[in-house]
C-alpha cells in the first residue's frame, strides 16, 4: 500500500480512524441516493476533510461497479484530498504511476441541502519523485458548468459515496493516518 504525505495542517484531519468494513452494494447506494434526493444528507464540510482513496466506480446507468476501472484507479492510487480553506474547501485529485504523480488542485464548496460538492481545478501539476516537472494554470469553467459531486452518504466506518456530474457513481475510503508535512496543499493567490 502506498503512503502519501498529508496535505493538511495540524488539527484539520478527521479525528476518528475508519474501521474496516465491506463497502455497500450498488443497490444499497442507489437506495440511499433516492432518500437523499428528497431529504438531503446533512453532511457538512468538516465531514469531508481527509484523504479519500478511490475504491469503486459504477458507470452511468450500471448497477454493478466496473471491475477494470476500479482496479486501474486503485492501482494508480487515485485519491481526492480535501482540506478546510476558510469558508470553503481545498481539493487535490491525484494519481501515481511509480514515482510520477499527476495532480489537479483547486477550490470547492458545498451547495444546497443535498449537498453538492462543487469545485473547480485551477492548477495541474506533474511531479517526478517529489520534484515538480510541469505546472499549468487551468481555465475556469463557466459558473453553470462547474464540476460537482452529488453527495450520497459518508459512513462512520470511513467510506464516502457520490455521483459525479457525468452520472457515474464513486465510492471512496478514508485513509486512516496522515502526518502533517511540508507538502501542504496550497492554492496560489489569484492574479
pLDDT level of residue 189 (50, 70, 90 thresholds) = very low
- In this predicted structure, the answer to whether residue 12 has a pLDDT above a threshold of 80 is no
- Residue 175's pLDDT is 93
Do 82 and 50 touch, CB atoms closer than 8 A? yes
Q: For residues 98-104, give the mean pLDDT.
A: 97
Q: What is the pTM of this model?
A: 0.79
Question: How many whole angstroms from its chain centre is CA 114?
Answer: 17
Reading the block at residue 52, the C-alpha cell is: 479519500
How far is residue 5 from each of residues 45, 120, 137, 175, 179, measured CA to CA in Å?
Answer: 22, 23, 23, 11, 6
Amino acid at each position: 500500500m502506498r503512503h502519501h504525505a498529508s496535505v493538511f495542517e495540524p488539527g484539520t484531519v478527521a479525528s476518528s480512524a475508519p474501521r474496516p468494513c465491506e463497502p455497500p452494494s450498488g443497490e444499497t447506494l442507489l437506495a440511499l441516493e433516492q432518500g437523499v434526493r428528497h431529504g438531503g444528507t446533512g453532511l457538512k464540510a468538516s465531514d469531508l476533510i481527509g484523504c479519500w482513496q478511490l475504491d469503486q466506480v459504477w458507470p452511468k446507468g450500471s448497477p454493478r461497479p466496473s471491475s477494470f476501472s476500479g482496479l486501474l484507479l486503485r492501482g494508480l492510487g487515485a485519491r481526492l484530498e480535501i482540506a478546510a480553506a476558510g469558508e470553503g474547501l481545498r481539493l487535490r485529485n491525484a494519481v501515481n504511476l511509480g514515482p510520477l504523480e499527476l495532480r489537479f488542485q483547486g477550490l470547492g464548496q458545498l451547495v444546497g441541502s443535498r449537498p453538492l460538492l462543487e469545485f473547480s481545478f485551477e492548477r495541474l501539476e506533474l511531479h517526478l519523485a517529489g520534484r515538480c516537472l510541469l505546472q499549468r494554470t487551468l481555465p475556469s469553467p463557466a459558473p453553470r458548468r462547474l464540476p460537482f459531486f452529488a453527495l450520497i452518504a459518508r459512513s462512520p466506518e470511513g467510506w464516502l459515496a457520490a455521483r459525479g456530474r457525468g452520472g457515474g457513481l464513486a465510492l471512496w475510503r478514508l485513509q486512516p493516518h496522515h502526518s502533517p508535512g511540508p507538502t501542504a496543499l496550497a492554492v496560489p493567490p489569484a492574479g
